[in-house]
């Protein structure tokens, strides 16, 4: 069984990548342990003056849960088990490091995320993760 990391930000591209995997699993072409990952950007340092660390952590977890909701629904509706993870950091660096530390076999992701300004061609996170990852990266258009 392969271990696949799926970056999720509730964007159409991320959901297309996950739908691609769901189809492969349902047709028996893939047997995988799926890990949905969302990486939240850290809040600016000055925010901690007004909000406690616990409140910041809760905010990141809530925002991460919202970003994972569409992907979770897709897998729940398909009856496919999965794991979810929410991290805080720079998305591509965080996912590349996590994929290597946890011995993932592959990363499957969409080519464009929610930030349309920074995703003019391939997508800034996609391109950076493609360059940083030590495991194969499948980009789904």
**Stronger pLDDT, 95 or 120, i.e. the higher one:** 95
If one counts every other C-beta atom within 10 angstroms of the C-beta of residue 140, the result is 18
CATH classification (class only), 2-140: alpha beta
Which regions of 12-97 does DSSP assign to beta strands (E)?
32-40, 82-88
| pLDDT of residue 30 exceeding 70 | yes
Using only C-alpha atoms, the chain has a radius of gyration, in whole angstroms, of 15
| pLDDT of residue 113 exceeding 60 | no
Q: What per-residue confidence (pLDDT) applies to 118?
A: 45
| pLDDT of residue 33 exceeding 50 | yes
Task: Encode pLDDT of 45-86 as tens digits.
Answer: 776 677 888 898 999 999 999 999 999 999 999 999 999 999
Tell me how far apart the alpha carbons of residues 40 and 60 are, in angstroms, rounded to a whole number: 6
């Amino acid at each position: 069984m392969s271990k696949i990391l799926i970056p999720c930000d509730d964007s159409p591209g991320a959901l297309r990548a996950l739908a691609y995997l769901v189809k492969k699993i349902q047709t028996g072409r893939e047997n995988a342990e799926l890990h949905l990952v969302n990486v939240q950007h850290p809040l600016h340092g000055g925010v901690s003056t007004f909000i406690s660390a616990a409140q910041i952590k809760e905010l990141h977890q809530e925002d991460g849960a919202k970003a994972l909701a569409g992907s979770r629904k897709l897998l729940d509706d398909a009856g496919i088990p999965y794991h979810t993870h929410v991290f805080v950091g720079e998305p591509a660096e965080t996912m590349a490091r996590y994929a290597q530390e946890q011995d993932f076999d592959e990363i499957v992701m969409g080519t464009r995320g929610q930030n349309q300004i920074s995703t003019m061609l391939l997508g800034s996170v996609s391109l950076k993760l493609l360059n940083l990852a030590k495991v194969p990266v499948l980009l789904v258009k």
